[in-house]
Structure 1
Amino acid sequence: MIKLMKNFILSISLALFLLSGSFLAMGQTGWQYISPLPGSKWINPEQTISFRMGEQILLSSLDGNLLQLECSKSGSMNCDFVLADDGRTVIFTPVKPFAFGETIQVTLKKGITTFSGKIIEEITFSFQIKQRETISLLAQYYIDQEEEDLSFVKNNAVTSTQNKSVSELITYGDYVLPGNYMSPTITALNNPFPGYTFATPRPNQGAPYKQYNVILDQFGEPVFFLEWTSNCNLFQKIVDDKLIFCAFSNPNPSVNKWYVLNNQFQFIDTLYMGNGYTIDQHGIYMMENGNHLLIAYDPQPVGMDTVYPGGNPNASVVGLIIQELDANHNVLFQWRSWDHFNILDGNHVDFTAASIDYVHGNSVSLTLDNQILISCRRMDEVTKIDRNTGDVLWRFGLHAQNNMFSFTNDTTGFSHQHDARQIENGNFTVYDNGVYHTPPFSRGVEYELDESNLTATLVWDYSHDPLIYANATGSNHRLPNNNSLICWGLTWPIAFTEVNSNNEIQWELNYPDFVWNFQAFRQTWETGLFSTNFDTIDYGYYHDYIPWPVIVTITNQSDDEITINSASNHSPAFSLATQLPQTIATQETKNFIVNFYPEGLGQQDFEDVITFNYDSYFGDDSLSRRIARQVVLKGTTIDPSSIDAFEKRSVGVFPNPTSGMVEIHSQEGIIEQITVSNIFGEVVQQQPVSSGLEFNLDLGELANGIYFIKIKLQNHDQQIVKKLIKR
């Protein structure tokens, strides 16, 4: 019956499409793309009218009078226009919104000319404005969706046994995390891919926490957090070291927006949907030129009794809108599921219900060939869309009703998935929620798609042992070293797992009970609010009986004073000797002494990170915020009892202390370069050495004090560091 009804609807839709003249408008006149699509309905009153050519358009040939709008209720309407930065898209903006329920007759007169001299012929088409405001339908949909997710959580909630973190924390100053902050626990740490994890952990109703955007290091320590008053999602780094996150409200979606921040965490832009649509928090994709893809949900009243036997005549059906906007917030491209999908394409959907969500787009991105890729959860489908024309290029999913691919080795497929994307090797990754697997379980998957022959091969998948199941949210990101970072979604305590190509766990993070995440990103990051003179301090080989100090200089690069309230590290071999807090005026610096003193810790290689924290309040001084900067610390110990033996087989510096002249002898290899640094980390002398196992160094012009002699030997990766006292 469903297939019969779908064929009937498709036939009617095709007939209306032909009658609308859309084939004439787009096929015979040379326009590559027209929005709204001729003959379309349920268009917002704020809609712009866009035309795109396959070649550049002469700006001098454009005129606002070229477009005539005759509205069935509003009468004639004038337009402003802009030629987009791509030089191919003309956007006409009516001087006022259209009226609900009216039909718009569009005439674009002959005269627009391309660079090649082609003059575009006149075209005429129409579209229909929706009957009424639908923001209340959208709010009700979001409320119902949240209740559905919470119902699943309540019915499946378990109280977990929290594992102990693999690393202890050594703190300095007033190191206090807010009482409503969700502190994670690292339960596996085995050489994860470098970088920071960006996330928006979200507490369920009743959990004793607030919403935060966070940047975490490999130990789970925050180098940034920002408390927020509403729900947040998809906090991540974008181009030019900017940050972005979505702030949204389910009961009041009209306030939804994307915030853009610079690397000093200042708010510099706000992104909205165009054409009267409301931001949805499920997806964004930022491009280097400032263009961005956004998602909106579009509920419309539909008489489902004419679509499906027993359907509700007053149903609210939720469509999907994809837009590409430029850096000036112009809508360059708009794609609507109403024009390309059938309502009955949804899987496991009750078509007799009062509210029907048949698409539920939950990710949007670009493919390697610059086409649009979306994940359609309720259709069990990943869809590729032509970014220039809006045509559907293919539909992929073992269980999707319109799947176009043959699966060579996968009988499971993905079910109600999230986070579809194409990765650098050309394959496609998906987070498979596995809602309708038997039994349900979640996993990350990777497919090799032959887009010419339409075949799909499963080349990798990972499910946790024991199995983890999240009915909603989640992500599967491939890292540059071929590791995979999986966010498990609406579940706890395990939130994120990083595995290598052999599915061995490299890193795992737990959150407290009733805290979950939508996605997680592993990215590089350094704040621009304040800087350090070191990214890494390598103390070299330690063979002494006293601490080795190095001074870290922090420079305040902001327009306001900052206070380093606290600091932390993990290994007792390193310590901060400077008392905190320390306030730094704008554009000023302060010094912080970091010691390496591995007394009694045996012979080993040490690697740690020290974090300098600036804690403050944001907004009306009620929202907690932390901004931090980290310095990596390295050093290697040698048992002091074997110093003499070490000197004989390694490198010697004599005399020490010295009044000026120093002799350097190497027993391990030819000396290649000698660098002298003070305790501030400043290089005060650097001497290349042509060859030889001995070298005389004159330090007579240096002030008395402590210096570090770094000796680079040929064919040795690590420098040998000697502490020297000049007096």
Structure 2
Amino acid sequence: MRLLILPFLLIFFFETSVAQFVYVAPVPGSKYHLTNRTIILKTSDPLIATGINGENWYSVIGEKSGLHHMKTKLTGGNKTILLKPVHPFTPGEIVTVSIDDNYLRTVQNNFIEGFTFSFQVRPDYSLEEIKLLEFAKRDLIAASFGAIRQIPQEVRSAEDFPRFVIDTNTNPAPGDIFFYSFNFEGEPTNHICIMSSDGDSVYSQKTTEKGGTFDINKNGYLTVFNSDSSYFEVWDSTYNIIDKYATQGYTTDAHEFILLPNGHSFLMAYDPQIVDMTIYNPNYKENATVVGAILQELDADKNLVFEWRSWDHIEITEAQHTYFWGDYIDYVHLNSIELDDDSNLLVSCRKLDQILKISRTTGEVMWRMGGEKNEFDFLNDPLQFNYQHDCRRLPNGHITIFDNGCYHIPPVASFKEYELDEVNKTASLVFSYSHPLINGANLQSWAMGNAQRLDNGNTFINWGYIPPGSEAPNMTEIDSVGNIVWEMHFTDTNFLVVYRAHRYEWSPCIPTEIDSINAMVISEVAAIISWSPVRNAGSYLIQYQSVDAFDWDSLLLPPTSTFLLLKDLVPATTYHWRIQALCHAKGDAFAATSEQNFTTMSIPVDTGTVGIEIIVFPNPARDQLNCIVKRSGIADAQLVLIDVLGKEWYHKEFETMEAGKSFAVPVGGLPRGLYILKMTYSNQQRLFNIILN
């Protein structure tokens, strides 16, 4: 017996190995964490879910608050474990997390190696320190977007469109310009706008909020930052709010929001903390307010599944052009996030003069471009960049940067395109553009700004916070060799600026109008529901239910559909129904129409006769007539379409016709006008007057 067991044990031993977590948050040994901090553990392979919701494989113990019960969730294709404390940790305490050996197992039968790590919760700040932190948050907003003042809410008025002049309009790329203008100084004049190249207002909304981004996001929805409530709103193409996104545990920052087609999102926040700066220099402040940067990824259910914090990776003293003796130090100032082609992240850090590439798998910094710890050799660009914004990856693999150039000598703003060799760490400047001199001076941009490479090779540039009175343009579009093909400037005396602006070709889907839908009962067990086509619809979701049913029956139809025959209904029964246009091509998914009703016919008394019963629609028609038979038992029938002069345009014969049978009469190629559709059977005849328009 022992000889049989031993080989089995040896086989089990060799087939089972040990795996480790590839991502752990909080970073072991880190500090300044929230009292409700979510613990995130990620593996490279899916985990077996059995037992994960139990508490016998981990312990979370606060040195003051004691043992913590955690809400456990397995997500991310069973590769991510989330542990959320039921009760908050105590401020300032060290929390120790222990994972047991040989309990968690991957689907490849590899056990997860146990380990222990600790992190520290942010301190229990005094009232005076809390006030300093609140002031810091307001200062951050004011530094980026000016002081916030409230104005009455007004919407969709062309008269409220910001005042501007188009200086050049020769051959711009197709599409409209999307931007959120606001004033840094004077009385608030904030506007969310879509403008054509000719200056026509496609959409304008005067708002109470201080500007930020107004974009078509990566999933096709409109997104805009609400500074009053510190969250991003998601709009459909009729400008209705359909969702909201915010960071978990922090005040959401306006600089960046990415919403992917799979529902994942990326947001950022600034995190002011009280820091003893004398550890770097005895002449620095003991209680300086230092602002860190937080980057978060939320999954489709808005669970926090990834977090990167500057505290864990960037030394405060790496900041360029920063006065470390002061009370307030914004040492990173993260201002853009780009999902790279390899699914990692490119981030722009203004105060570091640096672009970082961050591993979305491990959270580690993969490389740094620019700044104090630059890893790249810059070719053809001895100035490099500083105080930059808006790092983006192009389809050709290059990256683009809006270089504010505040510390160039002399200061000058420019658009730069680099070809990167990420293995040998070289950055070759392949294209750059600075505006021609204006009254003998460089165009400067103190803050904000972005640049967008368009499909036709043009580049659309928003110059951001240009100095007041400089007579510089606010937006410029250039062709591939640097010729200006479109340019505008605001004329508002309150000094309008734009954080980001983009040109998009936008032909939005529209919702299904209530007056364009109809239900027609054709028998005791069948009905036809119809609707007008929706522009750019990707599909239609039809839902119906009897009045006493709990669940909806759902059918997904292609975008070419304009009607649906419902069969196998219950006689003499009222049904609710509704339709939803799903505009997959543009991302929109409109709310369903309000519920409509129809009632099926009662079962008739059998009189022994058969009548011709047929439904014809739509009428008027354009491309085809749809015909549906209401009664069974019809044989040797003819269907003929004639014009008013008696000319026959369509003829079809049927051996039998059963209830529910549908067929189409093509009329798209016929002259427009009045026609007669004639159905004959035996000695019976049914005529329909048809209009083709």
Q: 1:295 to 1:151 in 2, by over 3 A?
A: closer
- Separation in 1 of the partners of 2:646 and 2:213? 58
Q: 1:349 to 1:323 in 2, by over 3 A?
A: same
Matches within 5 A, 1:454-493: 454-466=425-437, 467-491=442-466
- 1:137, CA displacement in angstroms? 4.2
Please list the CA deviations of residues 246-279 of structure 1 after superposition, one character each: whole Å capped at 9, or x if unmatched.
Answer: 1125xxxxx31111112232211111111x1220
- 1:226, CA displacement in angstroms? 2.5
Which runs of 5 or more structure 1 residues have no equivalent in the other structure? 1-27, 153-174, 250-254, 533-552, 558-585, 588-658, 662-682, 687-697, 705-727
Q: Would the aligned equivalents of 1:293 and 1:365 in 2 still touch at CA under 8 Å?
A: no
1:144 counterpart residue number:
139
- Separation in 2 of the partners of 1:135 and 1:498? 45
* Alignment of 1:199 onto 2:179: yes
1:269 counterpart residue number:
243
* Alignment of 1:123 onto 2:123: no
Taking every aligned residue pair, what percent have the same amino acid on both sides?
34
Q: 1:149 to 1:554 in 2, by over 3 A?
A: closer
Q: 1:282 to 1:450 in 2, by over 3 A?
A: same
Q: 1:245 to 1:380 in 2, by over 3 A?
A: same
- 1:496, CA displacement in angstroms? 1.2
- Separation in 1 of the partners of 2:315 and 2:354? 13
- Separation in 2 of the partners of 1:364 and 1:139? 25
1:33 counterpart residue number:
23
- Separation in 1 of the partners of 2:422 and 2:394? 15
* Alignment of 1:190 onto 2:170: yes
1:260 counterpart residue number:
234
- 1:187, CA displacement in angstroms? 1.8
- SS in structure 2 of the partner of residue 60 of structure 1: coil
2:293 counterpart residue number:
320
Q: 1:38 to 1:448 in 2, by over 3 A?
A: same
- 1:308, CA displacement in angstroms? 2.4
- 1:421, CA displacement in angstroms? 1.4
Give the one of 47, 65, 70 matched to 2:61. Answer: 70
- Separation in 2 of the partners of 1:335 and 1:554? 42
* Alignment of 1:363 onto 2:363: no
Q: Would the aligned equivalents of 2:477 and 2:486 in 1 still touch at CA under 8 Å?
A: yes
Give the one of 284, 295, 299 matched to 2:272. Answer: 299
- SS in structure 1 of the partner of residue 112 of structure 2: coil
Q: 1:505 to 1:408 in 2, by over 3 A?
A: same
Q: Would the aligned equivalents of 1:220 and 1:509 in 2 still touch at CA under 8 Å?
A: no
- 1:124, CA displacement in angstroms? 1.2
1:343 counterpart residue number:
316
* Alignment of 1:380 onto 2:353: yes
Give the one of 191, 204, 213 matched to 1:234. Answer: 213
- Separation in 1 of the partners of 2:84 and 2:237? 34
Q: Would the aligned equivalents of 1:407 and 1:456 in 2 still touch at CA under 8 Å?
A: yes
Which runs of 5 or more structure 2 residues have no equivalent in the other structure? 1-17, 148-154, 514-532, 538-577, 580-644, 648-665, 676-693
- Separation in 1 of the partners of 2:134 and 2:398? 37
Q: Would the aligned equivalents of 1:196 and 1:218 in 2 still touch at CA under 8 Å?
A: yes
- Separation in 2 of the partners of 1:401 and 1:474? 23
Q: Would the aligned equivalents of 1:493 and 1:511 in 2 still touch at CA under 8 Å?
A: no
- 1:446, CA displacement in angstroms? 0.5
- 1:84, CA displacement in angstroms? 1.6
- 1:36, CA displacement in angstroms? 0.2
- 1:219, CA displacement in angstroms? 1.6
- 1:74, CA displacement in angstroms? 1.4
* Alignment of 1:403 onto 2:357: no
- Separation in 2 of the partners of 1:483 and 1:214? 22
Please list the CA deviations of residues 105-127 of structure 1 after superposition, one character each: whole Å capped at 9, or x if unmatched.
Answer: 11122311111011113221111
Q: 1:120 to 1:476 in 2, by over 3 A?
A: same
- SS in structure 2 of the partner of residue 375 of structure 1: strand
- Separation in 1 of the partners of 2:646 and 2:220? 46
- Separation in 2 of the partners of 1:429 and 1:45? 39
* Alignment of 1:132 onto 2:127: no
- 1:63, CA displacement in angstroms? 2.4
Give the one of 67, 70, 74 matched to 1:79. Answer: 70
* Alignment of 1:430 onto 2:401: yes
- Separation in 2 of the partners of 1:125 and 1:30? 14
- SS in structure 1 of the partner of residue 73 of structure 2: strand
2:601 counterpart residue number:
none
- SS in structure 2 of the partner of residue 201 of structure 1: strand
- Separation in 2 of the partners of 1:118 and 1:685? 64
- Separation in 2 of the partners of 1:355 and 1:176? 40
Q: 1:439 to 1:150 in 2, by over 3 A?
A: farther
- Separation in 1 of the partners of 2:321 and 2:218? 39
Q: CA RMSD in A?
A: 3.0
- Separation in 2 of the partners of 1:283 and 1:146? 14
- 1:241, CA displacement in angstroms? 3.3
1:635 counterpart residue number:
none
Q: 1:146 to 1:44 in 2, by over 3 A?
A: closer
* TM-score where L is the length of structure 1: 0.64
- Separation in 2 of the partners of 1:89 and 1:243? 30
1:440 counterpart residue number:
411
- SS in structure 2 of the partner of residue 44 of structure 1: coil
- Separation in 1 of the partners of 2:77 and 2:400? 30
- Separation in 1 of the partners of 2:124 and 2:448? 32
1:211 counterpart residue number:
190
The answer to which structure, 1 or 2, has the higher relative contact order (CA under 8 A, 6+ apart) is 1
- SS in structure 2 of the partner of residue 517 of structure 1: strand
Q: Would the aligned equivalents of 2:144 and 2:448 in 1 still touch at CA under 8 Å?
A: no
Please list the CA deviations of residues 451-489 of structure 1 after superposition, one character each: whole Å capped at 9, or x if unmatched.
Answer: 010011100011111231111000011111221111100
* Alignment of 1:54 onto 2:44: yes
Please list the CA deviations of residues 628-648 of structure 1 after superposition, one character each: whole Å capped at 9, or x if unmatched.
Answer: xxxxxxxxxxxxxxxxxxxxx
Q: What is the letter of the counterpart of residue 144 of structure 1?
A: D
Q: What is the letter of the counterpart of residue 417 of structure 1?
A: Q
Q: Would the aligned equivalents of 2:297 and 2:304 in 1 still touch at CA under 8 Å?
A: yes
Q: 1:459 to 1:105 in 2, by over 3 A?
A: same
Aligned length: 495
Q: What is the letter of the counterpart of residue 412 of structure 1?
A: L
* Alignment of 1:515 onto 2:506: no
- 1:310, CA displacement in angstroms? 1.2
- SS in structure 2 of the partner of residue 40 of structure 1: coil
- SS in structure 1 of the partner of residue 428 of structure 2: strand
Q: Which one is further off, 64-73 or 408-417?
A: 64-73
Give the one of 510, 514, 525 matched to 2:506. Answer: 525
* Alignment of 1:100 onto 2:95: no
1:619 counterpart residue number:
none
- SS in structure 2 of the partner of residue 144 of structure 1: helix
- 1:554, CA displacement in angstroms? 11
- 1:415, CA displacement in angstroms? 1.2
Q: Would the aligned equivalents of 2:19 and 2:110 in 1 still touch at CA under 8 Å?
A: no
- Separation in 1 of the partners of 2:218 and 2:459? 22
Q: Would the aligned equivalents of 1:67 and 1:79 in 2 still touch at CA under 8 Å?
A: no
> Between Structure 1 and Structure 2, whose CA radius of gyration is higher?
2
